[in-house]
Amino acid sequence: MSATRSPKVAERVAPKASDPQPQKKKRDDDDGPDFATLLRAWIESHRASLLDSLRRLGKQPIGSFFTCMVMAVALSLPMGLSLLLNNVERLGGSWQRAAQISLYLQMDASPGEGQALREQIKAMPGVSDAEYIGREQALEEFQQQSGLGDALKELPENPLPGVVLVTPNEVDKPALEALRQRLSELPKVQQAQLDLVWVERLAAILKLGDRFVFGLTVLLVSALLLVIGNTIRLHIENRRTEIEVIKLVGGTDSYVRRPFLYMGALYGFGAGILSWGVLAFGLDWLNDAVVGLAGLYGSDFSLAGVPVADGLSLLLGAVLLGYIGAWIAVARHLRELAPK
């Protein structure tokens, strides 16, 4: 009786050949989760890591603030010096106007010939603008600037020639010398004078300032990476047991790394915001003294604030520095966190 089964029992146990459900279930298991499911899981994992990083930073508000403040000061120094150099360059005036070529015309050149020469020069390649100053206008300006108005009135005739001031397109010494040579060969031109000494001195000073800012930036960026790396290292040490358990149950390195990368980016974001605010406040505070000093010299010069593009670049750079510093710190200590 036990050796054989009844036909009804065998019919219940054996699946029908025409039943497609087991094959369909097997195909579904082989396909695995679809792309939408994987994407939702990936987004949820990143969201959970971001919220966890925010929660942990919120538990230590004073320490997090001072860490961001230290980073902000380090970011503000090179950025502030760069903005001051830009203002000094703007104070020095336009490079093109600073490198003007003065064409002294012959004494017998009429105002009509001077205007015609001005139009001819203005159409030449390499010339941005040209301005004609007649003999009478030159004499009036000289009288006002020299303070010798009474003495000049005793002269029998105007000793000053007409002048054409030529503004080049670019400040390049070989190109300016070639342009000066061409202008000196024009009719009615007695002398073509180009004075680039003080322009070259200012350019050398600004170049030195740029190199100093670049070197300071490299040093401070290295210091920032050390600061953020040490901060992330402390967070890793505080969660060492938790990380070892996560890796013991099969957690990947990217899963372990993700919260710390978000934490570094958040440190950088906070530092960028603080640095932007420090620079804006500092330039506004310094601008009052600059405006007062410029007013004593009859100038309306004032410091320009932090441009929005530079501020956004500063913010993005701070976030990247925080992210890179966290990546370096985690990569260095991740191999030490293998479960024992």
The token pair at 97 is: 């106007």
Highest mean pLDDT: which range of 45-49, 222-226, 237-241, 278-282 = 278-282
Domain finish residue from 177, 195, 213: 195
24 belongs to a structural domain: no
Task: Tell me which of 35-49, 64-78, 110-124, 277-291 is least confident.
Answer: 35-49
Please report the pLDDT score of residue 335 as a whole number.
67
Is residue 2 predicted with pLDDT exceeding 50?
no
Q: Does residue 30 sit within a domain? A: no
205 and 308 share one domain: yes
Same structural domain, 55 and 88: yes
Residue 42's pLDDT is: 79
Interatomic CA distance for residues 315 and 14, integer angstroms: 69
Beta strands in 11-84 (DSSP E): none
Residue 141 structural domain:
100-195
Query: Helix, strand, coil: what percent of the chain each, to 5?
Result: 70, 5, 20
Give the model's confidence band at 1: pLDDT under 50 very low, under 70 low, under 90 confident, else very high: very low
Judge if 205 and 311 occupy the same domain. Answer: yes
Q: Is the pLDDT of residue 3 over 50?
A: no
* 46 and 135 share one domain: no
Q: For position 316, what pLDDT does the model report?
A: 93
How many distinct structural domains can be found in the chain?
2
Q: Tell me, what's the pLDDT at 275? A: 92
Which pTM was predicted?
A: 0.61
At 336, phi and psi to the nearest 5?
-85, -5
> What is the band of 48 on the pLDDT scale with cuts at 50, 70, 90?
confident
Instruction: Give the DSSP per-residue string, 267-331.
Output: HHHHHHHHHHHHHHHHHHHHHHHHHHHHHHTT---------HHHHHHHHHHHHHHHHHHHHHHHH
Q: Is residue 34 part of a domain?
A: no
Backbone angles phi, psi at 35, to 5 degrees: -65, -40
Number of residues in the chain: 340
pLDDT band at 156 (very low <50, low <70, confident <90, very high): low
Are 54 and 78 members of one domain? yes
More confident residue, 284 or 242: 284
